[in-house]
A and B are shown apart, each in its own frame.
Chain A
Amino acid sequence: METVLFYLFATVALASAVMVVVNRKVFYSAISLIICLCSVAVLYLILESPFIAAIQIIVYAGAIMVVFLFVIMLLDPFSSSIMRDKKKFLAYIGVLLGILTITLLYPVLRSYDIAQTPKNPRFLDREVGSIKQLGESLFNEYLLPFEMTSVLILIAIIGVVVLAKRQVSK
């Protein structure tokens, strides 16, 4: 059951990822990316991390992609996105580089042995994915990074407002 689910959603994720790149219209690329994010969220569920799966769907596929779609519709994509391929060879070089990276990276992944890495004795098997465990770790060990993200978001808000403001006097 788990294997079938993994292969099903891995296939969907890969196919929609390829569709993101292949599609010439940005709107359809964004829709494919939403499908990819949702199927990866299912993989998170298989990996017993339901909180991250929920966050993935609510924040990633919900909020962030809505911002993307909003901007895409704002900028009139169907007229401006279809561009002539001035440098066709760039696509071939990209695919070639991708294949090269796969051939170089696959032996490295293959040689990694999980059994040699020590497991963390702190947690019981069933506890790792739970929200309680996540929250305790987030607000004890990772409290400083957590507060730093709020500063980061504040900086981003100010930056976006400054960028998007129209300059009146020119």
Chain B
Amino acid sequence: MALIPLAAMVRKDLQLFFSDRRSVIVSFVVPIAIASFFGSIFSGPGNNAEPARIAVSIVDHDSSAISKAIVAAADADKNFRLTRPDEAGARDAVKRGRTSAAVIIPQGFGDAAGNAFFGSGEKPALDIVYDPSRSIEVAMVRGILTQHVMEAVSREMFGGEQGKKLIAQTLPQLASSTMPAEQKRALIDMLASIQKLYDQPPAPGAAPPRRGITVPYTVREEAMTAGSNIAYNGYAHSFGGMAIQFLLFAMANAGIEMLLERQRGLWKRLRSAPVSRLTLLAGKGVSGTLISLMILLVSFAFAIIVFGVRIHGSIAGFLSIAIACSMMAAAFGLLVAAVGGTPATARGVTTLAVLMMVMLGGAWVPTFIFPAWLQQLTMIVPVRWAVDGLDAMTWRGIGLSGAVVPTLVLLGFAAAFAALAAARFRWEER
């Protein structure tokens, strides 16, 4: 391969790229801006910051000891940002999207819940009015509320005034009930035991015993990041994803530029020179790889300096994935030039292709939220390997071994794209 023409092609493409201020801004500044935004969303609260709270309102029509306990527990819950409007206000807040859900405790809820607690009464309904666009938050509200209701009802039933009154009312009713004798005897014994427990005074100097049902475990959470003292940094993922998206756009644009060069007759000059087809394609491939690599490295440099992203895994592994990803993108650009037809049609098709690749590859949101079949399917998308590989080398802190497979797969994609481009490239100029 002739080195002087090859170097000239690379130099010329870099010169053209950097002479176009718009393409430089789109390739370097825009991904940084978007990745910063996505990173701030997906980074989570960090080590010390407060978690984002779910906006919930509660309307208490009951005002019983149980309902008051539920409201107090919800108010103290760090997952909720609680408001207490009237029912019309609560419903309006959900409708306008200001709160995710409104919990409406109906009149008589406490008594009915107490009766139902021992299985003898009808279960009362707790109304939840919710915003259908925030179904994930509503599921969390439901789960947290279940805990608070169970604790409030059981605490009252096993020691509160409302519980004592309820048991005192229930015992005579049980005697005249039509329940089978054996079951009736067992239930009366249990309630009598509870009554006896209420009447026992606490030991001198001791705190009154905690009564009621509580969650019988606590959770000790450990985020599996690169190390025990290293918090997850969502910027690592967002900068990787956005840099890949925009280097693919840059390379698709480079492919379209090749089509425009053909329209402008420039390929006639290239083809009339004694330069091999391999040199012409390699020149484009090398310049594309260098531009892609610059986009990726500049993005990560910004993330490292500004957002504290670190390569906790292998630097060599990170670089090998970055280079392989850049080669894949450059080869994708060649493919666009080979099969693109006219610049106008190529622009539309490649925009769609890039968006599909980055969306399915997990560049916008992690692939774990996809259905299982889609997660499997996305293995055929090169972006998936690049994103996962860069995640592995940054916040997951996996060593060089974790870079081998993504690098090889990306190089495989690069080779396949380049081979297809070479086969389909229109070499004849009329």
**A is bound by B:** no
Q: Chain B residues in contact with chain A, CB under 8 A?
A: none
Residues of A within 8 A of B (CB): none
